[in-house]
Chain A
Amino acid sequence: MTDQPTGRGDRSAEPSGSALSRLHRPDLYVSAAVLIICGLLFARTFAFDSVPSSLAQNVQPTTFPRLVLIVIMIIALILPFEFGQKWRAGIDLDSDRREPIPPIVFLTGAALLVFVGVMPWLGTFVGLLMIAALLPLLWGERRWKILVPYVVIFPTGVMWFFSEVLRVTFLPGIVGHIFW
């Protein structure tokens, strides 16, 4: 199991930093982020239109979201104190985040944003062809004999199915409705 710390009970194997101190720094940041977001959203509820009590039937539009936000904020306060207790129970909350995020993840995320951003201009079909070609290349794929047929066949098959069978109209983009 990946969530089991490897050096349970072995102080030398403890994570660096304030691992077993009462406040775990990474969780402090997480908790702060949750509190800030919730605080901003809570402030936003004051901008909701006000409704006379007679029309609101005792249920103001702000009450439920505020209750939910307060619950989240209260639970978020527990987060920085959780690490030590979990570590002693044999669970490492840092196992998924100890390693820094590799550049390929940022590149992939940025590529996804670019693909979706240019899709209205390129059109769905050309956009999908671009995704099918560039994403494998970005991930290090260089087997052209597999890549080329994949780029042609896979997006075309998906587009055909959705257009012809499910009757979905896709964005035409620069090529217009030549294909679908």
Chain B
Amino acid sequence: MDIDSIVTGVTLILTPTSLLLIMLSVLIGVTIGALPGLSSTMAVALLLPFTLGMEPVVAISMMAALYCAGTFGGSITAILINAPGAPPAVATALDGYPMAQRGEAGRALGMAAIASVSGGLISLVIFIFAAPALAAVALSFRPQEYFALTLFGLSMLAAISGKSAPRNLISGMLGVLVSVVGIHLVTGVERFTFGTTWLYDGIDFVPVLIGVFAISEMLKQSQAPEQIMERVKNLAIKLPGRDDLRRTWATILRSSGIGTIVGILPAEGTTVAAIMGYNEAKRWSKHPEEFGKGSIEGIAGPEAANNAGTSGAMVPTLALGIPGSGTTAVILAALIMHGFRPGPFLMRETPEILYAIFAAMLIANFAFLFVGLAGARVFSMVTLIPRTFLWPSVFIFAVVGAYAYNQQMFDVWVMLIAGLVGFVGLRHGFGPAPFVMGLVLGNLLEKNWSQAMIIFDSDWTLFFHSWIANLFFVLTALSLSSPILGPWLRRRFSFRAKRATQQTDSGS
């Protein structure tokens, strides 16, 4: 490990301005996370234009801090008012709200904060060792291996959380298609520009990201009725006692491991991690009957897992340039926007960036512990903001943010059209996260495919001469077939188990 880079990276973050901005991001992140409907992905997309004039390292660190804090923020409203501010907090509400109803909101919030911080810290340690190691391996990758890896990343969209694998894949491939708009780098030919010069340089990430995440959600929210939430009174935050810690430490460790691994897998997100963390906590618990009625383990499991998932998702994003989730796809776009080369070259050329992000996430984890505990009551009140003011504000940020990026109205139109199309897509099950991942990975996919084809003199069979590429091709095939193979295997195993039980019963 390069000590100089670590020191440089940490020094970049330990300036008063950087610390202040990271703290601000944590506050925004927890607030956004607490607000149902607003996601940390949307917040990071809206934050992008604000970071235009900033030091790139500070800008990326702010986004990483916001991502961590946003994941935690959702648990506050999940526990206090049974309204998960963010999808990863859905599992937390199952036991958090019953605890709050019986007057243990403070204990539940305390456990959520401790489990989140523990999960975040454990996965950060794994991140700091795994990312450089992964990047070192990836440095030996040639275009064909990179192409296979990117293809694998896209294929994981089939297994991503969501209702329909084909829809996720179509969304992702449409994102790839949008990424080819503009001048073809090898031949200089215009593709899908429809004769307009606006599209010569392609379609920028920023307005599209803002559109699909913010505008489509705004249109969805325009039909939602105003909700009146029941709030928990007499809230006194309480850190977990010795008994609670004794009961949950194993769950926290297990869920942190689950969260990190799920986070590292391309395209899987913190929501999947949280649900798996909850299920495993219940499976291993000595009191599974308490789950759903206010079990402290039912909070520790998903909270440790979803926060571990955030750091886990940063590993493939930074080390390989393959986003681990929707939010990290936006962070990846931000890295490109700020002139970095995500992937192994980031580690080789600017390792201090990686360590600065690590330091920022570490600070964010401690910051949201403090902010969450001290300000839980305040953050639970953000749901009082009427949607009639909240969403017009989001639209104003979206318009200004999309315009500010290149200071042209064309980007505002791109944002708006992306939002309108995104709303129609969302209604029919085509999520924005797979689209954005396709958009971000599209350039990488075509670039590596083109380079390999040039090297191979158009002989595509040479793609299969590399064992690493072959490994990723096999993983891609498995990933694509998982929606069919998974249920088939489950049915087969349950049939065998049933037959074995019948044989045992008839034998006895």
Residues of chain A at the chain B interface (Cβ within 8 Å): 1, 3, 26, 30, 34, 41, 44-45, 48-49, 51, 55-61, 64-65, 68-69, 71-72, 75-76, 78-79, 82, 86, 89, 91, 93, 96-97, 101-102, 104-105, 108-109, 112-113, 115-116, 119-120, 124, 127-128, 131-132, 135-136, 139-141, 146, 150, 154-155, 158-159, 162, 165-171
The answer for the CA separation of A79 and B49 in the assembled complex, in Å, is 37
- Considering only CB atoms, which chain A residue lies closest to B90 in the complex? A1
A79-B170, A105-B222, A116-B416 known, 9 other contacts, Cβ within 8 Å: A64-B446, A75-B169, A75-B173, A96-B428, A112-B395, A116-B413, A119-B412, A132-B393, A168-B400
The answer for the CA separation of A108 and B337 in the assembled complex, in Å, is 31
Does A136 contact B416, Cβ atoms closer than 8 Å?
no
6 tightest Cβ-Cβ pairs between the two chains A and B: A141-B388, A135-B392, A58-B458, A61-B184, A61-B189, A108-B222
The answer for the CA separation of A135 and B221 in the assembled complex, in Å, is 13
Does A132 contact B222, Cβ atoms closer than 8 Å?
no
Residues of A with C-beta under 8 A to B361: none
Main secondary structure of the interface of A (DSSP, over half): helix
A119-B396 CB under 8 A given contacts A58-B458, A113-B416, A170-B403: no
Residues of B with C-beta under 8 A to A41: 177, 192
Does B400 contact A93, Cβ atoms closer than 8 Å?
no
Tally of A-B residue pairs with Cβ under 8 A? 166
- Considering only CB atoms, which chain A residue lies closest to B158 in the complex? A75
Residues of A with C-beta under 8 A to B446: 64
Partner of B163, one of A30, A71, A93, A128: A93
Does B409 contact A120, Cβ atoms closer than 8 Å?
yes
Does A128 contact B187, Cβ atoms closer than 8 Å?
no
Residues of chain B at the chain A interface (Cβ within 8 Å): 49-50, 52-53, 90, 163-164, 166-167, 169-170, 173-174, 176-177, 180, 184, 186-187, 189-192, 215, 218-219, 222-223, 386-389, 391-393, 395-397, 399-400, 403-404, 407, 409, 412-413, 416, 419-420, 423, 426-429, 446, 449-450, 453-454, 457-458, 487
Does B412 contact A96, Cβ atoms closer than 8 Å?
no
Partner of B191, one of A48, A76, A112, A141: A48
Does A82 contact B223, Cβ atoms closer than 8 Å?
no
Residues of B with C-beta under 8 A to A132: 392-393, 396
Does A58 contact B453, Cβ atoms closer than 8 Å?
yes
* 28 A-B contacts (beta carbon < 8 Å): A49-B189, A59-B187, A60-B187, A68-B173, A68-B176, A68-B177, A89-B487, A93-B164, A93-B429, A108-B218, A112-B395, A113-B416, A116-B416, A120-B409, A124-B400, A124-B403, A128-B400, A131-B392, A132-B392, A135-B392, A135-B395, A136-B388, A139-B388, A140-B388, A146-B389, A154-B393, A155-B396, A162-B404
Q: How far is the CB of B495 from chain A (nearest CB, A)?
A: 16
